[in-house]
Amino acid sequence: MDAPEPDTALPANSPEPGAGRYAPSPSGDLHLGNLRTAVLAWLFARSTGRRFLLRMEDLDRVRPGAAERQLADLRAIGLDWDGEVIRQSARLPHYRAAVARLTAAGRTYECFCTRREIQQAATAPHAPQGAYPGTCRALTPDQRAEFLAAGRPAAIRLRAEVAEFEIADELHGRYRGAVDDVVLLRGDGVPAYNLAVVLDDAAQGIDQVVRGDDLLSSAPRQAYLATLLGFPVPRYAHVPLVLNAAGQRLAKRDGAVTLADRRALGDSAERVFALLAGSLGLAGRTPAAVLARFDPARLPRDPWTLDPNRLSPAKECP
């Protein structure tokens, strides 16, 4: 496959010293789990001399005003970033150009499966857990024409040539995970997450990806796609999540878990930051105060369980 064309949508940056990033989806306010991951991404980047960048992943659900509130919350707890905030919605031509290059190289195919059909196929005996089973990989021209005549929208999938790929993770070590024929363009023409995140990270010079460990299994797919596009694979750090009292991933329905919620109860942004830092074994009321003592090797490996109804700011955040 030919080398990728240069992506000129973003400012040209020197590959050194590289960059870390935080990339929320503006679908609502950030909760304490989101803010904790943002703090970790900032600490990883700043402690290694990297730039720290922000990107809004706004290709899917967008709630009016959410992006602005998210940025305000990040500033309030003391995080700063370099350069402008990039929005994926401004980069649509670059995603489609990458799909066109992959298609020209014979690395894609049309998929007409509905979500229900995929779920049913994935539950069949011997089907790889969570992987697309390749139903449309070898459609004949007649079968394809039949789907199109019936008005079925076609997604564009990657034609993967490996079943597994290995990545390096700061917390998990060498991790080998499944690679399947991921969607690149959805049936409605919207670029899929796995494509957009790879292109954006490469375009922004991001060589360090810090995010929740619920995304660890997706890293091999993205790293493999990066190699197909001629991009370097970033160094990953998949960090433990924040769970609610029931042991489930923290969500806004769990109570007073956003910065606005905590402020309404009398917390300051500094106290909220101190709570997040304390959950990481760090003491301090500002990012700058904990940066000098940050050591990834000493980070907790288990999830942090948080019950906002039992949270005592005066006790938890001295």
Q: How confident is the model at residue 176 (pLDDT cuts 50, 70, 90)?
A: very high
pLDDT at 252 over 70: yes
Q: Is 23 annotated as a binding residue?
A: yes
- B/e letters for 264-291, b = 16+ CB within 10 Å, e = fewer, are eeebbbbbbbbbbbbbbebebbebebbe
Average pLDDT of the segment spanning 99-115:
95
Q: Which two tokens stand for residue 63?
A: 């709630």
Q: Is 193 annotated as a binding residue?
A: yes
pLDDT at 64 over 90: yes
Q: Is 315 annotated as a binding residue?
A: no
Q: How confident is the model at residue 197 (pLDDT cuts 50, 70, 90)?
A: very high
Other CB atoms within a 10 A radius of the CB of residue 232 amount to: 15
Sign of the dihedral defined by the CA atoms of residues 136, 139, 141, 144, in that order:
negative
Q: Which two tokens stand for residue 233?
A: 């694979």
Q: Check: CB of residue 233 under 8 Å from CB of residue 167.
A: yes
Global pTM? 0.89
Per the annotation, the verdict on 315 as an active-site residue is no
The rounded mean pLDDT for the chain is 90
The SS3 assignment for 54 reads strand
Q: Is 252 annotated as a binding residue?
A: yes
| Greatest C-alpha distance within the chain | 69
Q: Is 317 annotated as a binding residue?
A: no
Sign of the dihedral defined by the CA atoms of residues 207, 208, 211, 216, in that order:
positive
Average pLDDT of the segment spanning 209-226:
97
Q: Which residue has the higher pLDDT, 312 or 154?
A: 154
Catalytic residue among 159, 252, 263, 293, which? 252
Q: Which domains does the chain have, with CATH numbers?
A: 1-90+201-318 (3.40.50.620)
- 16-25 pLDDT, tens digit per residue, is 579 999 999 9
Helices (H), the chain: 32-47, 66-76, 92-104, 115-122, 141-149, 193-203, 219-228, 259-264, 269-279, 287-291, 313-316
Q: Is 25 annotated as a binding residue?
A: yes
Q: Which residue has the higher pLDDT, 117 or 184?
A: 184
Q: How confident is the model at residue 312 (pLDDT cuts 50, 70, 90)?
A: low
Half-sphere exposure of 45 (CA within 13 A, CB side): 30
